[in-house]
Amino acid sequence: MIFEIKTTEIFLEQAERLNEKDKILIKDKITLLKQNPYRNKRLHSKRFSKVFRIRLNLSGKEMRLVYVVIEPNIILVCLLERKNDYKDLEKYLNKI
């Protein structure tokens, strides 16, 4: 199946603030994501059943790229800082 990548406004704003090295890392992860979106760890959500995350280390910070699979689309939701323990996850998911 061919998946199409969609993004939220939140993700675009967060990605815009990153440096070039981090942007390249995210592009590489998105390329892998298109091939098989189900290979990463699943997250629990009240609203969606297919929420996943990709571990990233951006500029020395532990980050998570959160995405939702709604076939045939992959929606890139946001970049979460790991130290916040996913507290804002449901808030970001409600904006889809």
pLDDT, one tens digit per residue, over 43-88 is 998 889 999 999 999 989 899 999 999 989 999 999 998 888 778 8
pLDDT of residue 5: 95
pLDDT of residue 87: 80
What is the value of pTM for the model shown?
A: 0.91
* Contact criterion met (CB below 8 Å) for 92 and 46: no
* Contact criterion met (CB below 8 Å) for 75 and 31: no
Task: Mark 70-92 as b/e (b = at least 16 C-beta within 10 Å).
Answer: eeeebbbbbbbeeeeebeebeeb
pLDDT of residue 85: 77
The mean pLDDT value for 11-28 works out to: 94
Q: Tell me the backbone φ, ψ of residue 26, rounded to 5 degrees.
A: -65, -40
pLDDT of residue 78: 93
The mean pLDDT value for 88-96 works out to: 86
**Mean pLDDT across the chain, nearest whole number?**
92
Question: What are the chain's domains?
Answer: 4-93 (3.30.2310.20)
